[in-house]
Amino acid sequence: MIVVMNPGVEEKDIQMVVEKLKDMGFGVHLSRGVYRTIIGAIGDREKALSSGLEALPSVEKIVPISKPFKLVSREFKAEDSVYRIGGVQVGGEELAMMAGPCAVESLEQLLEAARQVKACGAKFLRGGAFKPRTSPYSFQGLEEEGLKMLAAAREDTGLLIVTEVMNQHTVEMVADYADILQVGARSMQNFYLLREIGRLDKPVLLKRGISATIEEWLMSAEYIMSEGNYQVILCERGIRTFETYTRNTLDLSCVPIIKRLSHLPVLVDPSHGTGNWHWVPAMSRAALAAGADGLLVEVHPNPAEALCDGPQSLNPENFGSLMASLKELAPVLGRRL
């Protein structure tokens, strides 16, 4: 349930309610909005409703949350969450563009890709140092050496780094290099990993699992936020269906649904969602039209030579054309790029 405080309430009154809830055994989470503060209380709802809190002059009302996800819900926070990451905004009016190769293959390859996507207008560089692959014989990534290359690319270009963390044992290592920690589709329900990331003060890009429902996806975000990390960005990357013409089925209907259910920013990955670079530009524009807060696009200097996911990667020229079309589209949608 949530305790809605009156507008303009003093900090001492907020802390009094927080302490009272903690004394009653509740987990407490604060959401400070523009006009009022909301206190999320995780625990026995009936106990809270009979606590007498609503009689306090500083409390406007107590609202039960019926959904299984609490902290990610619109009931907990009515306005959209907007994050400032290294001076770049994610959420709100500005569209976040994250682009780069699927995998870090070499410093030369990464620097070339970074310079190219920056020239086209991207603010974030995506690239995998740890690569969870279906086959154990496929390229698994350069691991910490790849992270060092990502840090070098950030130093060279100023782009912020988005890279995947695969398990709880490497969280601290990846967090030392990354600006945003990516939780991949295969790890969406690795709850030990989610809890570990939830203890960090570091933004998280949470991809939807390949067969996950929207509720399961939001519950994974809840795991992270329940540990205290509220900087969660959701990313739709396609789900498994019976269709064979695409790698996955990009579920763009989830974007407006999430926007109604949750305050978290939502990005879309049209590269994994389609598996074919030909479809990426159209699905990118469709994603923004559906309300997405940005895109995660695979771009490789030479897709034919990529060590993984070459067929779904745009080359720099095609990415430049895509960005040009998005810059024309953004104002029509009331956004900016």
Predicted local distance difference test score (pLDDT) of residue 36: 80
Sequence-distant (6+) residues with CB within 8 A of 56 are: 13, 16, 17
Q: Residue 325 domain-assigned?
A: yes
Predicted local distance difference test score (pLDDT) of residue 137: 66
Backbone φ, ψ for residue 49 (5° rounding): -65, -25
Note down the domain range covering 32.
2-63
59 beta partners: 5
Q: Tell whether 177 and 212 lie within a shared domain.
A: yes
Among candidate residues 12, 29, 63, the one where a domain is terminated: 63
Q: Tell whether 208 and 142 lie within a shared domain.
A: yes
Tell me the CATH number at 185: 3.20.20.70
* Cβ-contact 259, 225 below 8 angstroms: no
Q: Tell whether 26 and 156 lie within a shared domain.
A: no
- At CA 324, angle to CA 321 and CA 329, rounded to 5? 125
With 0-12 / 13-18 / 19 or more C-beta atoms within 10 angstroms meaning exposed / middle / buried, residue 258 is buried
* Cβ-contact 113, 102 below 8 angstroms: no
Ranges of residues in the chain whose predicted pLDDT is under 70: 45, 48-49, 133, 137, 139
Q: Tell whether 24 and 126 lie within a shared domain.
A: no
Q: Tell whether 316 and 216 lie within a shared domain.
A: yes
Exposure string for 140-151, b = 16+ CB within 10 A, e = fewer = bbbbeebbebbe
Predicted local distance difference test score (pLDDT) of residue 45: 66
Q: Tell whether 286 and 216 lie within a shared domain.
A: yes
Cα–Cα dist 109/149, whole Å: 10
Tokens at residue 153, please? 């690319």
205 beta partners: 182, 233
Q: Tell whether 13 and 101 lie within a shared domain.
A: no
Within 208-269, residue ranges assigned H as helices are: 214-226, 254-261
DSSP 168: G
Predicted local distance difference test score (pLDDT) of residue 145: 95
**Listed residue (131, 198, 134, 138) closest to 163, CA to CA:** 131
Cα–Cα dist 113/127, whole Å: 10
Sequence-distant (6+) residues with CB within 8 A of 52 are: none
E strand or H helix at 21, and its extent?
helix 11-23
27 beta partners: 42
* Cβ-contact 311, 304 below 8 angstroms: no
Q: Tell whether 25 and 149 lie within a shared domain.
A: no
The total domain count for the chain is 2
Q: Tell whether 197 and 302 lie within a shared domain.
A: yes
Predicted local distance difference test score (pLDDT) of residue 27: 85
Q: Tell whether 48 and 108 lie within a shared domain.
A: no
Mean pLDDT, the chain, integer: 93
Q: Tell whether 128 and 246 lie within a shared domain.
A: yes
- Report, in angstroms and rounded to the nearest whole number, the Rg of the chain calculated over CA atoms: 21
Distances (CA, A) of 34 to 39, 138, 263: 14, 49, 14
Q: Residue 78 domain-assigned?
A: no
Q: Tell whether 126 and 38 lie within a shared domain.
A: no
Q: Residue 263 domain-assigned?
A: yes
Q: Residue 195 domain-assigned?
A: yes
Tell me the CATH number at 57: 3.30.70.1140
Q: What's the pLDDT tens digit per position in 16-36? A: 999 988 888 888 888 887 778
Q: Residue 22 domain-assigned?
A: yes
Cα–Cα dist 156/296, whole Å: 21
At residue 71, the 3 state secondary structure works out as coil
**Listed residue (84, 20, 73, 8) closest to 48, CA to CA:** 20
